[in-house]
Amino acid sequence: GSASTDSTATDSTATAGVVTADSVIPYRLAENYFATSDSLPTVITSTKEQEKYLGMAATMGQLPTEIDWSREFVIPIALPPAGTETEIIPVSLIRNTSGGLTLTYRLREGFSLQGAKMRPFVALIVSRDYLAPVTLQQEEGVIIACEG
């Protein structure tokens, strides 16, 4: 006879490092804003703070994204000015085990700005239901956008 090995997959209850659906936090991008400073708070929660840290750039009929400060807050990421076109790409926003939020992002570098400098910036608008301390985490590696 043949020995049949019934390998029943045991459901592991250890979910360390696994992102469960309920820990992913929804967000939308704040368009047409720029950072007015290299050092920003990890969260911006009012018009007063917005005016202090964020500038609005209305371009070709594109108005800055409206933020309802009574229901939303902003997570800004600004990096020191760089000599290459650098884009900050949000990867994920999750609630971490300590109850705070972790925003993971990666960088994509483009062509040289020919001596000019640009401050990379992105801002996420999140529901106040999720307001908590935020940790920023840059993913290893940089995506290089090739010229050509």
- pLDDT score of 144: 77
pTM: 0.80
- pLDDT score of 102: 96
Tell me which of 84 and 59 has the higher pLDDT: 84
Q: How far apart are CA 68 and CA 44, in angstroms?
A: 12
Q: Is the pLDDT of residue 62 over 90?
A: no
Give the mean pLDDT of the chain: 86
Contact call for residues 138 and 107 (beta carbons, < 8 A):
yes
Segment 87-91 mean pLDDT:
95
Query: How is 70-115 classified by DSSP, letter by letter?
Result: TTEEEEEEE---BSEEEEEEEEEEEE-TTSSEEEEEEEEEEEE-TT
42: left (phi over 0), alpha (psi -120 to 50) or beta: alpha
Q: What tens digit of pLDDT does each residue of 113-141 get? A: 999 998 999 999 999 999 999 999 999 88
- pLDDT score of 147: 56
Segment 21-34 mean pLDDT:
89
Q: How far apart are CA 106 and CA 119, in angstroms?
A: 15
Rg (CA), the chain: 20
**88: which residues sit within 8 A by CB, 6+ positions away?**
77, 79, 105, 106, 107, 120, 121, 122
- pLDDT score of 18: 56
- pLDDT score of 10: 45
